[in-house]
Chain A
Amino acid sequence: MPRLGLGDLISAGPRAVSRYTGTLLAVFVAQSIVAATCTLAAALVFARVFAHLPMFDEAVDGDLVALIYCLRYNPATIVAIAGIAFGAVALWQLASWFLIGGIYGVLAQRPEGRGDTARCFGASGASTYLAYLRLALCALPGWLIVVALVYTGLDMVGERIAYAVTVADLVGPLLIAVVPGALLAHVLWTVSDYARVELTLRQDSHDPGVIAAYVRTLGYVLRRPVTLVHGALGWLLFGLVTAAYAYLAQGHPMYGTDGAITLFVARAGVSLLRMAIRFGVLAGQVELGRTRPLPPRRVEVKVDAKS
């Protein structure tokens, strides 16, 4: 197997996006449906409380004082909206184990044609779903450590952040508080991704087992920093796109129906671009995952009850 470098991983992204654009769009449509459902539910809640109150119009148009009044007017509304958003994200999290399994399956098996691709996507997503679920549980202790690290970091430097008077005063303590947790989170994230790749690629042939795959992948990721750098570049690009949109959108409230449509199109474009970035990263991970040493085969003993 050739040893792949960072350039190979990155270049795998655009190739996969161009080859499986339909798959990317299908996942995006599914996500957009969840987001649209969330939008409509939130809009209904807002309308029920605020449709008759013009001050809400001013709040939505960027009047900060009106916004504060409205938020304080009916706190239960805020709880309801938060619940809707959380529900949408939780739903997507559950769906994502299927969708990522499907994407990895397609990228690994490289099916041709729409029908084969769809079948491959569905079969792979379904076959790895429970394994991914167990993998998420397996990764949970690591995430608890991340939370503890960030909490401890913030606790250590909280006073210094509170007393920071310049940006330089703020950056140091903030880095101390956040970077260890963020680094560990990135490692865990990358390990989970590559463990999924292994489960997808080797499930049928080697049945590596979830915990074994996770532990093996942890070692692999730490031995191959390119996995971390590649993932970090993906997140960096993801963040840059989000920041660029926020920067460009700032000061353009986009009033009225035309504005709302423009805003919708712009947000959809940004979301699609970010999804393409994530898709590209997954493609690079599959490429590298193929080159990993094979896991040991599990010996399966079949016992015939009649004998």
Chain B
Amino acid sequence: MLRSTVLLTAAFAATAAGGCGRDRANPRVRPMPKIDGSPALRGGGPARSPRNASYKIEARLDPVRHTIAASETLTWTNIGTTAVDTLPFHLYLNAFKNDQSLFMRTSRGVRASDTGWGYIQIDSVHIAGADLTAALRAPAGAGPDETVVELPLAQPVEPGATIEVSFAFTDQLPEVFARTGYKADFHLIGQWFPKIGVRVGPPGAERWECQPMHANTEFFADFGTYDVALTVPGTQTVAATGVLTNAVDAGHGLRTLTFHAEDVHDFAWMADPFMEVMSGQAKLAGDGTVEVRVYYRPEQRGFARRHLEAAVGAIEKFSAMFVPYPWPILSVIDPPPEAAPTAGGMEYPTLVTTREDSVFNRPGIRRPELVTVHEVGHNWFQGVLASNEAEEAWLDEGVNLWADARVMAAIYGPRTSALDWMGWQAEVSAMARAADSPALGLPSPIATAAYAFPDHTAYSEASYLQTARALQTLERTVGSQRFAAAMKTYARTFAFRHPTGRDLFATLDKELGEDFSWYFGPVFHEVGQLQLALRNPQCRPAHPPRGVFGDGAARKTVTERDARDTGTWTCEVVVQNTGALHVPVDIELRFADGSTKQLHWDDRGTGNWERFVVERSSRLVEVWLDPEGKIALDNPVAHHFRLAGEGLPSLRAGAWIGSFAQTVMQIVGP
């Protein structure tokens, strides 16, 4: 008894010892970081954007209380054609202030904890020395939501005029949530300062676009320059948007780091006492280099290497496909695993966060790489092409996802871009299409404002996956090179502007030389899917007419013996589309003698089905809808059909099940 007890106790003790967590040493003071020598725009040169919303910020982080005390001066120029008498500002952090914020209410109570709330408090507002703090007001109809505030102006800002607004504010960071906040010692600080809205609309009828923070919406802002001085303890490693232009000792163990960024529309930063940095260089074809820095905790070094390779590859490929990356540095933050679910996978100009560092994502399982490529890609699709993420989320998420598949294929190979592990291989878009195709039809079209979807699943299916599939279908239909050239023109035309979906469609129409409204209309603006199917394809021997013909004396009966089979086959295929979307589809018929016949069905305006009858010397053995796989909008399992069933694959699959069952049998029985 004693020996058994000792054995069992020892085993328990060994497992408990093996399971002890990782202990961190106290943070050490870091060497003063080196100043980045490069200009804020790669190669310098003139402004590339209107730079009508520029910020100077001084902020001090208290990493123990997770607070930021800051002052901000916004320089805003009215580049519209109408005067402005009110300035709206985003106060995004207030989305995490209480459960009455619009974000929390539309997130269906995702926060269960009473701790870790975050908010931004405006301590004062001044314009030209006048204290306007008391004039701040909530927009009409805002209710309990505090993510937007309005400042009425005593004097309107005329077209072309510039105004300076000074704020003093305090942030209480939330426990990291929706990609901002803290988790233990890690701080990711985004959407943390009062940010002015954007004037949109046609000349003469401009209006403010300053959406409150909804559950599914991201951000929209004007371009400008940012000069941000961050005061932090000397123990912190800091990464931020832009380039580091100054670093000085601020006394009491603190230091002030000043960052400068140009032609960006946001500023985010990260502070962590345990992060290390790994850097590499992306070489742009004939256009210089970009330094890529990955910030990671020591235990994540292996993943940092993978993120670095992915980020370098992404910058090179996206630059070649669209416009060259305009800034000299890109920072990739690899959050600690416990923070990654809520801090990872977010994009800010020149700074992105990644995720998916997990022991289960072995090398070759490219989920971490895909996240990095996707977030880096956002430096084009919304960083440079600054579309309105609240109103047209698909324009950055979905277009970016479409581009990600191409970039991943270029970096990791076309057949292994998603997976190359233990003999399993898969390509990114095929994998996403197979794994994530919606079980139910989408209730809203792709071109729906992010806040107008009924739930997050509908938003993400439409904005990410369905958009990528729609673009991929068009790409394969018109040809990959033509489509890529058209997308490049779109990127070059609208870089550092605020393109809309209409701009994208118009560019594609023009560059592809065809009016694609028949496609863009239903695919992007209507509810419904493409549901192609074959209805009972069949083949029978052909023969002259048989039966009774004529009347009276002329009546004649033609029997099987009289009208023998001709030796040919009459084959029928009915193709149907019961979905709301209609695209032309190729059909390939394969015959027993190895020959094939190509058909084409364009159901636009012709009904929901078509019967094809073919007479042939050999019988039909297979029918294949869309044999080249151009259509990414439908589940392709039943697109390829053989008339005679094949049993061997089923037997092999059954044998695997039988073998598995036998293994379990041997565990439960003899």
Contact = CB atoms under 8 A, between A and B. Distances in A.
Interface residues of B, number: 73
B665 A69 contact: no
Contact of B661 (A59, A85, A224): A85
Contacts of B14: 175
B608 interface: no
Contact of A84 (B435, B637, B650, B657): B657
A282 interface: yes
Interface string A146-188: 0000000000010110111111011111011001100100010
A275 B666 contact: yes
B337 A172 contact: no
Contacts of B19: 157, 160, 172-173, 175-176
A172 B19 CA distance: 3
Given A164-B359, A222-B1, A257 B636 contact: no
A263 B658 CA distance: 12
A100 B1 contact: no
A274 B669 contact: no
Interface in B164-191: none
Given A64-B424, A89-B664, A225 B3 contact: yes
A223 to B, nearest CB: 5
A42 interface: yes
A157 B16 CA distance: 11
B669 A264 contact: no
Nearest to B658: A39
Interface in B621-670: 622, 635-638, 640-643, 645-655, 657-670
B299 interface: yes
Interface stretch (A4-12, A27-35, A205-213, A290-298): A27-35
Contacts of A267: 655, 659, 662
B641 A172 contact: no
Given A43-B651, A47-B647, A70-B637, A179 B12 contact: yes
B359 A278 contact: no
B21 A38 contact: no
A52 interface: yes
B641 A62 contact: no
A198 to B, nearest CB: 18
A215 to B, nearest CB: 14
Interface in A41-57: 41-47, 50-57
B302 interface: yes
Nearest to A254: B652
A103 interface: yes
Contacts of A131: none
What is the predominant secondary structure among interface residues of chain B facing chain A?
helix
Contact of A96 (B358, B439, B655, B668): B668
Contact of A65 (B15, B300, B431, B663): B431
A51 to B, nearest CB: 3
Contacts of B11: 179, 183
A42 B21 contact: no
B297 to A, nearest CB: 9
Contact of B657 (A38, A52, A56, A59): A38
Contact of A52 (B15, B641, B665): B641
Nearest to B425: A64
Given A35-B659, A52-B643, A279-B670, A92 B665 contact: yes
A90 B661 CA distance: 10
B11 to A, nearest CB: 6
Interface string A200-243: 00000000000000000001011111001000000000100010
B5 to A, nearest CB: 7
A176 B16 contact: yes
A263 B652 CA distance: 9
Interface string B418-462: 010011111100110011010100000000000000000000000
A183 B5 CA distance: 12
A127 interface: no
A93 interface: yes
A51 B646 CA distance: 5
Contacts of A43: 647, 650-651, 653-655
A69 B629 CA distance: 14
A291 B425 CA distance: 57
A81 interface: yes
B647 A69 contact: no
What is the predominant secondary structure among interface residues of chain A facing chain B?
helix
A40 interface: yes
Contacts of B669: 31, 92-93, 95-96, 99-100
B663 A169 contact: no
A278 B662 CA distance: 14
Contacts of A51: 645-647, 650
A56 B1 contact: no
A50 B649 contact: yes
B8 interface: yes
A64 B666 contact: no
A32 B647 contact: no
Interface in B46-76: none
A36 interface: yes
A36 B662 CA distance: 9
Given A166-B359, A263-B655, A257 B648 contact: yes
Interface in A254-294: 257, 260, 263-264, 267, 271, 274-275, 278-279, 282
A274 B427 CA distance: 38
Contacts of A166: 299, 302, 359
Nearest to B639: A55
A260 B647 CA distance: 12
A46 B638 contact: no
A68 interface: yes
A169 B658 contact: no
A171 B666 CA distance: 27
A72 interface: yes
Contacts of A54: 622, 640, 642, 646
Contacts of B15: 172, 175-176, 179-180
Nearest 9 interchain pairs by C-beta = A96-B669, A43-B654, A39-B658, A51-B645, A172-B19, A163-B337, A46-B650, A42-B654, A47-B650
Interface of B: 1, 3-5, 7-8, 11-12, 14-16, 18-22, 299-300, 302-303, 337-338, 340, 357-359, 419, 422-427, 430-431, 434-435, 437, 439, 622, 635-638, 640-643, 645-655, 657-670
Given A36-B658, A169-B299, A275-B670, 15 more contacts: A39-B657, A42-B658, A46-B653, A51-B650, A68-B431, A69-B434, A93-B669, A157-B19, A159-B338, A164-B358, A165-B300, A170-B359, A176-B16, A263-B652, A278-B670
21 contacts: A31-B666, A34-B662, A35-B661, A47-B647, A55-B640, A64-B419, A68-B431, A69-B434, A72-B437, A93-B668, A166-B299, A175-B14, A175-B18, A179-B11, A179-B12, A219-B1, A225-B4, A251-B423, A260-B655, A263-B652, A278-B670
